[in-house]
A and B are shown apart, each in its own frame.
Chain A
Amino acid sequence: MMRALSTAETAATIHPWAIHAEGLQVRAGRYLAVNGLDLTLNTGVHGLLGPNGAGKTTLIRALATVLTPAGGQLTLLGHSVGGRCDLRSVRRTLGYLPQHFGFYPRFTVREFVGYMAWLKEMPKTDIPAAVQRAIDRVGLTAKADARLKTLSGGMLRRAGIAQAIVNDPQLLLLDEPTVGLDPEQRLDFRELLRDLGTDSCVLVSTHLVEDVVAACTDVVVVNDGRLVWQGTPDVLTAQGAQGDAGDSPAERGYSALLRLHRAEAAR
């Protein structure tokens, strides 16, 4: 069945970037986990790489409008995000899978995804079809009416992805979506990512360099709350030399970039 398009969806985009951060600072507790980050992203699948504690999760939480920026400028889909603005229009077109996906254990997958669709203020008549489509896309059709507490870790992760994509977001933020997925599901997930990235801005945080190279159109490397490098997966692969740590060319490229950055920072 064809989905009816709303005027908001067919309106011409007048913002140059889906995500535009300038000198962005975000606190995690008292610590400035993101400190002076400049980032511009547009339609496509962007892989967010970085060592533990680099500020990936804090950055994604700020982009999901869960945390307020402590400084700098952040513009999402043309709307400035700050302390005092009304974010409802941005949040309607946002999909977010947190690192620790909390849920109501007694809800079924269908109920939970439907609840999230309702909270995202989707038209009431569109919700059942959108919920079914999201569940089908992540491959949970057979488990649609199982309670969330009965699902395995990988299935929960996919239920989390389903609630994130149910409103066809223009801005999709996935924090470590491939944790707990088996190799076959990861391949399916890459396929889904490519599909989603054709008309929306997808930012995927992960530790798996292969996932990024296989499914992303663009790679963003952060360290110590700053942008280290941004470019295509091919260029990332080309950065690595034989001597760098890693088992694949892309991993060697990633470790070469981090080594360079740390050497510069030490100077």
Chain B
Amino acid sequence: MTTHPSLTQIDRYAAGDPGLDEASVWAIEVHLEDCADCRARLAASTTADARSLIERVAMNLDHELAKSPAPAGRVRSWSVLRQRWLVGTLLPWLAMTVAVLACAVLLGELWVGRPSLVLLVAPLAPLPGVAVAWHRRIDPAWEVIAATPAAGLTTLLRRTAAVLAVVIPALVLAGARTGVSLALMLAPCLAFTAATLLLGTLIGVRRAAIGLITAWTLVVIAPSLTTARIPAVLAVESARIWALAAVVLTIAAFLRIDGFRRIAQHD
């Protein structure tokens, strides 16, 4: 730290003495910024002129501050997180998914002896949300987002993650209520999500989701409802195969997924 300026120097500085050369003024100012004691001494040596000037500045500043809008409050991190990851366009689709799962649980309790509906629809649960995650006609801000670096791949993956973050807890709850094996619900669900993304690189995510939902409904859900038996693909011993499929499909999807970085998407 520099040596403190003498009281005479501070007096001359406060009075705006023209005899004080520029270099000394700078030295005093630099010192004043760091030294509270010298600032207190300066306050004692101010002249009436200086005090009235400071008062005028303070008054004008207060006036300006009163006119200007209030400073923005600190944004809560939860609301930022929610806005950025779970854009409002996804909410109706997620609400629908959760409602369908709740209905499946309810029907499962009413129809004892039938195959568990929750188990049958669990693989399809994230697909409606994934299908609308990055779609021209469903996202109102699609056009502006399409010109940002987050267009395509990044937004699709972020929103898919958001969909899974909602759907998986819902599935866990539904599974706990109906007593279906958790692995048998989650592994097919993840495998179908990865398959949608993988197929989406070829024909577009929405078409891929619609195709998979239709195929699963026709091939698995409808026959098992008519025969009232759990299909072989969802038997307890197939959980390991589903888990393997989920891993393989996820890896394949990540290898192919650069396709979403291209401009024109099939959607």
Contact = CB atoms under 8 A, between A and B. Distances in A.
Given A115-B83, A142-B69, A102 B144 contact: yes
B84 interface: yes
Interface string A80-91: 010110111101
Most buried by A among B87, B139, B144, B149: B144
A89 B87 CA distance: 25
A183 B232 CA distance: 71
A92 B149 CA distance: 6
Contact of B150 (A84, A119, A144, A160): A119
B87 A94 contact: no
Contacts of B149: 87-89, 91-92, 119-121
B153 to A, nearest CB: 10
B140 A103 contact: yes
B141 A104 contact: yes
Interface in A2-27: none
A83 B263 contact: yes
B144 A65 contact: no
B63 interface: no
Interface in B145-181: 145-151, 155
B263 A67 contact: yes
Given A102-B143, A104-B140, A110-B72, A116 B261 contact: no
Contacts of B84: 115, 118
A9 to B, nearest CB: 16
B72 A144 contact: yes
A116 B144 contact: yes
Given A68-B264, A115-B84, A145-B72, A103 B151 contact: no
Contact of A116 (B69, B142, B148): B148
B223 interface: no
B140 A83 contact: no
A198 interface: no
Given A87-B261, A104-B140, A115-B83, A120 B148 contact: yes
B88 A104 contact: yes
A141 B69 contact: yes
Contacts of A118: 84
B85 to A, nearest CB: 11
B147 A96 contact: yes
Interface residues of A, number: 44
Contacts of B142: 102
Contact of B263 (A87, A98, A110, A160): A87
Contacts of B151: 65, 91
Contacts of A101: 143-144
Interface in B14-70: 68-69
Contacts of A163: 144
A83 B264 contact: yes
A106 B90 CA distance: 13
Given A91-B149, A104-B140, A66 B263 contact: yes
A103 B146 contact: no
B141 A102 contact: yes
Nearest to A164: B144
A159 to B, nearest CB: 11
A53 B204 CA distance: 29
B88 A65 contact: no
Nearest to A103: B141
A101 B146 CA distance: 12
A57 to B, nearest CB: 11
A100 interface: yes
A18 to B, nearest CB: 15
Contacts of A142: 69
B141 A66 contact: no
A142 B72 CA distance: 11
Contacts of A141: 68-69
28 contacts: A65-B263, A66-B143, A66-B146, A67-B263, A67-B264, A68-B262, A68-B264, A81-B263, A83-B262, A88-B149, A88-B261, A91-B149, A91-B151, A94-B147, A97-B144, A98-B144, A102-B139, A104-B88, A104-B141, A107-B83, A116-B144, A116-B145, A116-B148, A119-B155, A121-B149, A144-B69, A144-B72, A173-B147
Interface of B: 68-69, 72, 80, 83-84, 87-89, 139-151, 155, 261-264
The list of the 5 closest CB pairs from A to B, nearest first, reads A102-B140, A88-B149, A96-B147, A119-B150, A119-B148
Given A96-B144, A104-B89, 11 more contacts: A64-B147, A66-B143, A86-B261, A94-B148, A102-B140, A103-B141, A103-B144, A115-B83, A119-B150, A120-B149, A173-B147
